[in-house]
Amino acid sequence: MNTPQHLQQKYSITGKEAVSYYEVANKMTTILGKKITYSKPSLWHFRSTMMKRGTPKAYVNVMTMLYLITQLGNAKKVTPTAKELLKREPTSISQYIEDYRTSFL
């Protein structure tokens, strides 16, 4: 959204449901028909792997912080913000996996 009322605003936007990495792996396994596992890498390993893949450092830093936040359990809540801003239900993780299934295979 690129409208003035959203400039300089802070929103806590979540998906339709709070799911763990293990739950996402299980949903991917079911939907994709291919075994997907979550290995719970350490922060150092997570960051190191992204850097080795050539991911830009600034992006790696943001992703590492997001990974840390989820590891601390701060991603367990669901907010109504996405629904309020979009004026529709947010997409579930299952629907997202289904919609982008060819990108995962």
Instruction: Look up the pTM and report it.
Output: 0.77
pLDDT over 90 percentage in the chain: 68
pLDDT confidence band for 22 (50 / 70 / 90): very high
All domains of the chain in start order, with CATH: 20-104 (3.90.25.10)
How many C-beta atoms surround the C-beta of residue 35 within 10 A?
Answer: 8
Per-residue model confidence (pLDDT) at position 23: 93
pLDDT confidence band for 53 (50 / 70 / 90): very high
Determine the Cα–Cα distance for residues 38 and 34; give it in Å rounded to an integer: 13
Residues 47-74, mean pLDDT to the nearest whole number: 92
Q: Tell me the Ramachandran region of residue 65: left when phi exceeds 0, alpha when psi lies from -120 to 50, beta otherwise.
A: alpha
Which has the higher per-residue pLDDT, 5 or 3? 5
pLDDT confidence band for 64 (50 / 70 / 90): very high
Residues 22-45, mean pLDDT to the nearest whole number: 95
Q: For residues 70-95, b (16+ Cβ closer than 10 Å) or e, as one string? A: eeeeebeebeeebeeeeeeebeebbe
